[in-house]
Structure 1
Amino acid sequence: MILALLLQTAVAATPAPARAPAQAAQAWKFADRTNAAGVRSASASVTGRDGLSRFVVKCDVASEPIVSVQFIQPTAIGQSADKAVSVRFDGGPAFTYLWQFPGTATYITDPEAITKLTSFLVKSKQVGVETTNASNFAVQAVFDAPGNDALVRKVLGVCGYTLGVVPPPPAPKDPQ
């Protein structure tokens, strides 16, 4: 009887195995540079949970400001015609747009798409990106969202965008 009580006490006193720590959220980084030609580039980016891919919101200001959302993989996605990229926020429905595939990454510059993607990005906890490479193999990555709108607003502001507002089309250039 005493032996049974000692065994019960020993089992009850055994601590539960420790849980693996949750993966720390990847930090978003802001960069603002101007090159020798005077082209300003501001970006907010995060490394994917795979530790290799990147998700970027970028503004380039040369003759006119251009905002892009970019998905960069460690190996070239491959050059191809525009094709579908799906972006999901917190596992919700996909927002699918045609993105450009110049070879090293994929990106979109459509102002309406940028407005929708950035508006959802700043309210989300995670972002999933799905597409195919030039060989039609699936490419997917998951990213931590920024947690607030500060960095995205900062990037958009450099290009004269306001978060959540589709910018007006650029004024037609005066023919000379």
Structure 2
Amino acid sequence: MKELIISSINDNLNNAVALLDAIDSKTYSDDSIGPYYSSIGSHIRHTLDFFDCIISGIDTNDIDLTARKRDEILSTNKEAAKSHIHTLQGTLLSYIDANTDYLIHVTDNMGQGKVTVNYTLESILAHANSHAIHHYATIGYILNQLGIDLKIPGFGYNPTTPVNKREGI
């Protein structure tokens, strides 16, 4: 199961690379679209932060999703983001043969303070992948509002969305 999850994540991250290859740097950092005025780059950075928290905490069994790096270079420089994605993909591949038969402590803020819950590596990675898809959907909205028509099949759609509804951006 872990191999399938990591393969799915890496395919999803490949969609982000395809997006970055298809847009220019100005579009990547454009934060003119309301209501949140966030850029495509800020959404890419945020999804990468989530994965980075997993990688940073896996060895100590203490993944803290509130301890995000928020590296602004990833928000503004699409080449840096692509490089980071490729590094992340390699790291994820290294987990395929890792022993993960234990519970991992994951901390997040649910809106009323931090809480730590137990996950498996597979469950936190699946959660991170769903989180990325959610942000890809927001990126699709931003592109639409900017009048940019791209076609990356399935981008921003959950795989459970019926195929006839899952066109991608």
Q: Which has the higher contact order (CA 8 A, sep 6+)?
A: 2
Structure whose CA Rg is larger: 1
If each structure's strand is expressed as a fraction of its own residues, which one has the higher value? 1
Short-chain TM bin? under 0.3
- TM-score, scaled relative to structure 1: 0.27
**TM norm structure 2:** 0.28
Structure number having the greater helix percentage: 2
